[in-house]
Amino acid sequence: TWLNYLPLCLKPWEQDARKRFKRDLEWCIVRLQRIKNPDFAGKYMPDAFLPSVLRAADLGGFTTEEEAAYLALQLIIGAADTRYALQQSQISTWSFLEAMLQYPDVQHKARTEIEAVVGDRLPEYADLERIPYIRCVMKEVWRAISHDPKRHEDPDRFWPERYTDDHTTTMQSVNSSDVTKRDHFAFGAGRRICPGYHVAERSLAIAIMRILWAFEVVWAPGTKQPVDPLTYMRGSEMPGNASSRLPVTLRVLSQERANIINQTFEVLQHERLSLVSTTPDDAYSRVY
């Protein structure tokens, strides 16, 4: 492309990219040196990706240690555009919460179907097969950015029922030989498709089921109606996505369900204490 022949001073986007790459590489090198420091031995998981690569005689096929460290960073930030929001929750989840605020009838229907299957126990991913409407909601969350009326009837409407007869999983859909039958293109297409779509699918399914099982999603107290979505999108990490400014309140449905949520959180905190930090700052100080 002719843009390659422009001097760097006329390409601010490339200047920004070079600065970001330098920053990211420095972040990687700091953690690489920390792993190699004998004084740091025992403070990381020995079977973690980077320590395993450094122990390998051929660096696991990497050309340099820095290259391996940079890939380790990609493992951390992979799907950052779909998974990053306040304290590392999912932007897809924020978009789901926004939809529940705007369409309470969808929220009520989804919760009713969840409760009919799981009752008073915490939903699990395995429950998704018995709650088809949740898969419809997931597909609609990811479809919502697409507004082509030739592909989607009434594209501006959040309408999960459009997927009532579509029982395909994300894997089945993205591997369809007929692209016109794809449910959505949130994960891209072809050889550049997101390799972690199955993780995103499971994560969002669990988040949706557990949020609706435990909470009622309502507007925050004092929110003036009607709400202009742009007023809370301006604080977003990613353009067009909801952010921590979303005026939402999660109102617990019962003390019993609140207790189950708290107990589950405590168990996970205990089991994964060595893997998951409790604060974003601590997460960045760890070695992965």
pLDDT tens string 31-77: 888 888 887 776 666 677 888 888 888 888 999 999 988 888 877 66
Residues 6+ apart with CB under 8 A from 163: 135, 136, 139, 140, 183
Contacts 24+ apart (CB under 8 A), 41-45: 43/287, 44/286, 44/287, 45/274, 45/275
Burial class (CB in 10 A: 0-12, 13-18, 19+), 228: exposed
pLDDT at 70: 87
- Token pair belonging to 269: 């905190």
Which pLDDT tens digit goes with each residue over 140-153? 999 988 888 988 99
Q: What is the CA radius of gyration of the chain?
A: 22
Half-sphere exposure of 143 (CA within 13 A, CB side): 26
Confirm or deny that 194 is annotated as ligand binding: yes
> What's the one-letter identity of residue 25?
L
* Whole-structure pTM value: 0.68
Domains, the chain: 11-82 (no CATH), 83-253 (1.10.630.10)
Strand partners, 219: 248
Q: What is the pLDDT along the chain (288 residues), one digit of tens a residue?
A: 788 899 999 999 899 999 988 988 888 888 888 888 887 776 666 677 888 888 888 888 999 999 988 888 877 666 555 444 333 345 788 889 989 999 999 999 999 999 999 999 999 999 999 999 999 999 999 998 888 898 899 998 999 999 999 999 988 998 888 888 899 988 888 888 887 788 888 889 999 999 999 999 999 998 888 777 666 665 544 444 555 577 889 999 999 999 999 999 888 777 665 443 434 344 334 333
For the packed helices 91-102 and 132-143, what is the interaxial angle rounded to 10 degrees? 100
Give the DSSP letter of residue 235.
T
Distance of alpha carbon 189 from alpha carbon 182, whole angstroms: 10
